Structure 1
Amino acid sequence: MIQRFHQNDRRSLTFPAVHPCEAVSTETLLNSLVSLSRTICDFHSKFFASQRRNAREAIRQVGVLLIFFEEVLDRGSILSNSSLLCLSELHLTFQKIQFLLEDSFREGSRLWILTKCKFVASQFRILFQAVATVLDVLPLDSIDVGGEVKELVDLVAKQARRARFELAFDDERGVDVVFGIMSQFEKGTEPDLETIKRVLDFLGIRSWSDCNKEIRFLEEELGFEFPDCKERDVAHLSGLVGLMCYSRGVIFEELDHHHHRNASAEEDQLDSRINLDAPTFLNPDDFRCPISLELMTDPVTVSTGQTYDRSSILKWLKAGNLTCPKTGERLKNPELVPNSALKKLIQQFCSENGITLAQLEKKSRDMTGTTVPSSRVAAEAMKFLSKFLVRLLVFGNGRQKIKAAYEIRLLAKSNIYNRSCLIDAGAISPLLNLLSSSTEACPQENAISALLKLSKHSKGRVLIVEYGGLHEILNVLKHGLSSEAKQIAAAIIFYLSSVKDYRKLIGEIPEAIPALVELIKGGTTCGKKNAVVAIFGLIFFPNNQKRVIENGTVPLLIDILTHSDKTDLITDTLAVLSTLADNVEGANSILQASAMPLIKNTLHSTSSRAAKEYCVSTLLSLCNNGGDEVVSVLVKDHSLMELLYSILGDGTPLAGKKARALIRILHKYRETSPVLSSAVPHEQFVRAR
């Protein structure tokens, strides 16, 4: 069989074709050539936004050669080694032609292919020169086919040799206009909308969905990691993303109804599900880069003593900044010192929490450059777009406000720079106004989701509270028009509670904690999860712990441990119980709910190291606050001691410390209890060192 390179494994405008092996049979080779040729010919009915003439000529010439391959296959001729070698080379070239046509037609790639039009035209020319070279040396006279077919092959050889495959005038003019528009953005000038519309119309980009497909394709291209991906290409791609985001937000006033409905459902799930693979509270803050806010893969320390992820600080320095991003102090020198100790801790943390290095590095790449944009074009386009969207939120009609809020959701999804631009443009206040005036689910969901994205930015959190947004968010949490809106409101509470003063402020609002408890009681799985982690954030303020307990939270948390099969939800629930158990009132509430056997069982059954740590922490606190009555129960569980010793070797340093403390408590109780002293072998309680 002849191997094929799967197109999803390659970057656009790369042609990693596979050469047929030497042992391939004549029939297999010819069948594969026929199949390849037919696939290429099928492109004749496709719309090519650019390279139309070149694509049409390429398809025509391959179509003629298809007749030749089919006749050779039908006659079952015996081919010489030289003929087979020529056909093998044609097979290799045809794969590349197929790749080139796929890229020229690929959904979402129209703007990218237009800006690469000179390169694409040159590739058509190179590939058909290769076809001409092969046909020149092909021993056609020795192949048993009809004379007319031989004449057709000769004709293709001549045409392929003479074919110029030049850049079409319309393509050349179109790419000049695109670069002109980008140049205007780069200079801080807002381009003429009619000019942009003409380019989009030429490319067949005539709807919001068409534009969004272009953005997704360009963002995927930016995500590829290739050695030959020059910094210039990154800036160019980033600029094109900026241009298309601007076009999507400003030019296309109507959201495609079908797309909007499906995208909203998908976005609601993604927006409102707090990612606790690397949670704000449950992970050490020191593991996060102050620039990207993500876990660091390669931490380095600058002259001020602050530590950043290497990729983020390099991007900061390349942008011409000479100060420390966190302290504002001028850097004495640009030297970056690797922080090996922190890197080992992060790697250990990832291992213990099931986060692979590949996942971490991919996330880091996704966020790289989001604080400082990769190109001035993208930066200026985002500034213009942010101001436009805020104007729509303030002065637009109902439909325009919904669309503006939806655009903000998408723009702020994973880009810190976009969030900053939108906040600086004044998006928070009109979004809160839209939230308060919403009487239908759609505008409410768009507004609350946009606010969620902006609440991930430190300045966004401050402005939401300063503008009185807490009242509106809590109102959605209690009376939201959809379950999605309620769980998103809980997620915002989670991010707001990362600010120390806001934990107290939120806790003192009478309806805040009861509303979160109600969401735990009757919400979806995602809603329960967001409410649990929001409560976790709030109980870092001690007075909130009493409020949480008084509102009957503990029995609901125990119910989650009993009935849920979601590991992340169970882990978050255990984190809350662990914190509540630190004080006597919380410990008593947990004991009254008869939770200790369940926590022990979870410690035995869970595969999550984080969950094990919270179980150990909770049991330790219950022993400290519950006294000998609790210890006497635990000391009788002989399998518990073995499990605690395993955590000493395999758990995190903090888990090991807590396990060691719990072992000592159990050992001490065993030594002072005559009944246990005589009933249990001493070896079972060897003192932990």
Structure 2
Amino acid sequence: MPPHERKSPPARRMLALPAVCPCEAISPGTLLASLLTLAVDVAARDAGTFPVLRRGAGEALRITRVLLAFLEELREASAAAPLPGAAVLGLSELHVAMQKLRFLLADCARRGARVWVLMNAELVASELRFFLGSVATAMDVLPADVVGASVEAQDLAKLVSEQAWRAVVRPDADDGRSAWSVRSMLAKFKSSATPHAEDVRMVLGRVGINSWWDCAEEVAFLEAELLERLEDGRENDNDLVLISGLMAFLVYCRVVLFDRVDAKKADAAVPEPMPASSCAAWTSQEALLCPITLELMTDPVTVATGQTYDRTSIKRWVKSGCPTCPVTGEKLRSAQFVPNVAVRGIVEQLLISNGASLHWQPSNKHRSAVDKTVAAFGPAAAGGVRLAVACLIARLSRGTPEEQKKAAYEVRKLAKRNVFHRACLVEADAVPWLLHLLSSTDASVQDNVMASLLNLSKHTAGRRALVQAGGLSLIVDSVNVAAKVEAQQNAAAILFYLSSNSDYCKEIGRIPEAIPTLVHLMSEGTYRGRKNALVSLYGVLQGAASIAKMVSAGAVAVLANLLSSDREDIVNDSVALLARIAEQPAGATAVLASSELVTRLVDFLGTSSSRSGKDHCVALLASLCRHGGDKVAALMGKMPGLMPTLAQRPKAAWRLPRLAAAHARARARTPRGPQAQPSSARTPASPHGPASLAFPARHRPRG
């Protein structure tokens, strides 16, 4: 697999400032060329792009531009006389400082991270002072014969050193007031007090958040920070409380201050790529290849011997029974692998310069942990979310059509993940008002309302609120009449979640249009619509009456057609639903009415690679034998491919004792066939059908 198609490691973390230290053997000329490239990258930044620490960032840019002029003088002087080897030490210090300064300034100007930089302004200012001090120190240790190459170089070196030592880098007074205001508003959230709108606008104006999409970008960045900390096992990190509080603050701002979801800016959709020149010119690409696989290292780690490998490769090497370093042959004294952030940063920059995008998502484990959070990480986050929800309910109930449209979209985003958000919405009586908006003539409002109801139906209290508000009939009708296909599919998925309660299943079954509507969606819907209809029908079928309605609605013929689908999951779900239908005599009779269908089921049992699909198929055949009698068992016993397939699945074959006996009798009557050994004891009875076979998680509806 090409390196750019493999799962890439996470990008450099915000305010993490890796640097590659040049080796001692590097030539001064090569080092100077790389340093010039770095200085050009830093000096090219616009001082107006820094919403926080504007004065300090401006000082750093001014000093960098003077340093760039000094380096250009050195380059001209080195054309006449090569730089001495003693210059490597000072130039190396400058190189490391400029790498870190470049990262720090990029973070300060990063879109989506403005509030986070504001709250960490003291830390950023401290780092900036340290880097400028490093620049001044490096200039002071440069040898006199290097600095004295020309009069201009001497003057520029002295100017860089003096300005770097004297630079005043601290958070601006407005930065301090804004950060204090944010903390004050988070304290108000804890006591459920509403912050003053002017204070909120002052903070957002300070960091340049002027639209709904700006707020959305900030929330997305903070959520990524939260998940990365969980990914690293830092569940007790104090920053989690602050990050959650800031997310709630920005959601509140997004809901309260902005009346509409404005058009997203074109430049906001594409992250600013790092310049290709940021990959040091003196770095050899061969050095970035894993010594084991000779492929580009996307997750480089360093072992105890100091060698660097791709994490997956070295872990596989050690697990294979080779506890030695593949390059040096030394025995690894420790199995600990240290991430090599410097090499990883260079690899990322190299891939970006070649047009390969880096996509990384947190593990499903930690995403699920956040999604299933029943309480906020702190009281400020809880209070902020509740205030935002209260505002949304007020607009859903009493707002203008435009306000209701935006509120429905906000509810959809808020309920998409996190159990705590759903609980807040249900407690605030969002469900009845959302059901009321289903009658809207605006297709986008219908779509947002149905998606919101789907997310809320994943919560037990949300399902109860939906049924108590009389929403079942509305949901069933929406499967047919919703303006958008997506809304129809989401309505079918809601019925699946409601079917987890037996009482709700009975209520759905009493609606005459419910099952025929789902059968029609299963027949005519898109892929996602069919998936949702299949799993919803599987959940709704709880008794003979529902199965009879399925049969009369023509479900067996539809499922027979779906068995020829090119989507394996659709075929498996169809077999599972047929197995549930065949649990009742009427359903088994409808399946047996098509001899071709039975033959196809036997073929499916022999060719399917799905374990759950085969289990459902065996249960289906067992139900057909039980309800169809000895004639059916004898007919199936003559099918040549059935028993060899069952013989490969001994745990499933015991479900078909009648079929096994019929098959033995059929083979005994065959002159050239081997005689089957009769069973000495009848296989004990077992629960038939797929009632004990639940749909796996991957078969759940897609919302």
Q: Shared fold by TM > 0.5? A: yes
Tell me the secondary structure at the aligned position of residue 564 of structure 1: coil
The answer to whether the 8 A contact 1:46-1:105 is kept is no
- Cross-structure match for 1:234: 240
Q: Which has the higher contact order (CA 8 A, sep 6+)?
A: 2
- What are the equivalent positions in structure 2 for 1:83-482 lying under 5 Å apart? 83-139=87-143, 141-142=145-146, 145-224=149-228, 225-226=231-232, 230-257=236-263, 359-367=363-371, 370-436=373-439, 438-482=440-484
Q: Which is further off, 65-74 or 567-576?
A: 65-74
Tell me the secondary structure at the aligned position of residue 583 of structure 2: coil
- Cross-structure match for 1:661: 655
The answer to whether the 8 A contact 1:670-1:677 is kept is no
- Cross-structure match for 1:517: 519
- Cross-structure match for 1:672: 665
The answer to whether the 8 A contact 1:215-1:245 is kept is yes
Per the alignment, do residues 71 and 461 of structure 1 end up closer, same or farther by CA in structure 2, a change over 3 Å counting? same
- Cross-structure match for 1:54: 56
Unaligned ranges ≥5, structure 2:
1-7, 270-361, 685-703
Tell me the secondary structure at the aligned position of residue 484 of structure 1: helix
Q: How much has 1:18 moved relative to structure 2?
A: 3.1
- What are the equivalent positions in structure 2 for 1:634-649 lying under 5 Å apart? 635=637, 641=643, 643-644=645-646, 646-647=648-649
* Percent identity between the two aligned chains: 37
CA distance in 1, matches of 2:676, 2:108: 73
CA distance in 2, matches of 1:592, 1:41: 79
Q: How much has 1:441 moved relative to structure 2?
A: 0.5
Q: How much has 1:610 moved relative to structure 2?
A: 2.6
The answer to whether the 8 A contact 2:70-2:157 is kept is yes
The answer to whether the 8 A contact 1:246-1:381 is kept is yes
Per the alignment, do residues 220 and 388 of structure 1 end up closer, same or farther by CA in structure 2, a change over 3 Å counting? same
Match of 2:446, as an amino acid?
Q
Match of 2:417, as an amino acid?
S
Tell me the secondary structure at the aligned position of residue 673 of structure 1: helix
Q: How much has 1:41 moved relative to structure 2?
A: 2.3
Bigger radius of gyration, 1 or 2?
Answer: 2
CA distance in 1, matches of 2:647, 2:71: 71
Per the alignment, do residues 601 and 59 of structure 1 end up closer, same or farther by CA in structure 2, a change over 3 Å counting? farther
Q: How much has 1:88 moved relative to structure 2?
A: 2.9
Match of 1:421, as an amino acid?
C
Q: How much has 1:561 moved relative to structure 2?
A: 2.3
Match of 2:178, as an amino acid?
G
Q: Which is further off, 115-124 or 89-98?
A: 89-98
Per the alignment, do residues 624 and 39 of structure 1 end up closer, same or farther by CA in structure 2, a change over 3 Å counting? farther
Q: How much has 1:248 moved relative to structure 2?
A: 0.6
More helix by share: 1
Match of 1:62, as an amino acid?
T
Q: How much has 1:509 moved relative to structure 2?
A: 0.5
- Cross-structure match for 1:585: 586
- What are the equivalent positions in structure 2 for 1:491-502 lying under 5 Å apart? 491-502=493-504
The answer to whether the 8 A contact 1:121-1:167 is kept is yes
Q: How much has 1:97 moved relative to structure 2?
A: 1.5
CA distance in 2, matches of 1:259, 1:625: 64
Deviations along 1:199-222, one digit per CA (max 9) or x if unpaired, are 111111111111111111111111
Tell me the secondary structure at the aligned position of residue 45 of structure 2: helix
The answer to whether the 8 A contact 2:101-2:131 is kept is yes
Per the alignment, do residues 85 and 228 of structure 1 end up closer, same or farther by CA in structure 2, a change over 3 Å counting? farther
- Cross-structure match for 2:550: 548
CA distance in 1, matches of 2:9, 2:662: 66
Q: How much has 1:504 moved relative to structure 2?
A: 0.9
Per the alignment, do residues 627 and 678 of structure 1 end up closer, same or farther by CA in structure 2, a change over 3 Å counting? farther
- Please say if 1:561 is aligned against 2:554: no
Per the alignment, do residues 119 and 230 of structure 1 end up closer, same or farther by CA in structure 2, a change over 3 Å counting? farther
Deviations along 1:389-422, one digit per CA (max 9) or x if unpaired, are 1111111010111111111101111111111111
Per the alignment, do residues 78 and 605 of structure 1 end up closer, same or farther by CA in structure 2, a change over 3 Å counting? farther
Deviations along 1:429-450, one digit per CA (max 9) or x if unpaired, are 11111112x1121111121111
The answer to whether the 8 A contact 2:578-2:620 is kept is yes
Per the alignment, do residues 659 and 363 of structure 1 end up closer, same or farther by CA in structure 2, a change over 3 Å counting? farther
Structure 1 length-normalised TM: 0.77
Match of 1:112, as an amino acid?
W
Per the alignment, do residues 661 and 166 of structure 1 end up closer, same or farther by CA in structure 2, a change over 3 Å counting? same
- Cross-structure match for 1:485: 487
Q: How much has 1:196 moved relative to structure 2?
A: 0.6
The answer to whether the 8 A contact 1:68-1:153 is kept is yes
Match of 2:425, as an amino acid?
L
Match of 1:361, as an amino acid?
K
The answer to whether the 8 A contact 1:79-1:143 is kept is no
CA distance in 1, matches of 2:175, 2:9: 26
The answer to whether the 8 A contact 1:507-1:544 is kept is yes
Match of 1:673, as an amino acid?
A
Q: Which is further off, 210-219 or 628-637?
A: 628-637
Structure 2 length-normalised TM: 0.76
Q: How much has 1:484 moved relative to structure 2?
A: 1.2
Per the alignment, do residues 506 and 151 of structure 1 end up closer, same or farther by CA in structure 2, a change over 3 Å counting? same
RMSD between superposed Cα atoms in Å: 3.0
The answer to whether the 8 A contact 1:386-1:425 is kept is yes
Per the alignment, do residues 666 and 116 of structure 1 end up closer, same or farther by CA in structure 2, a change over 3 Å counting? same
Deviations along 1:369-402, one digit per CA (max 9) or x if unpaired, are x201101011111111111111111110101111
CA distance in 2, matches of 1:215, 1:498: 33
- Cross-structure match for 2:571: 570
Per the alignment, do residues 68 and 569 of structure 1 end up closer, same or farther by CA in structure 2, a change over 3 Å counting? farther
Match of 1:113, as an amino acid?
V
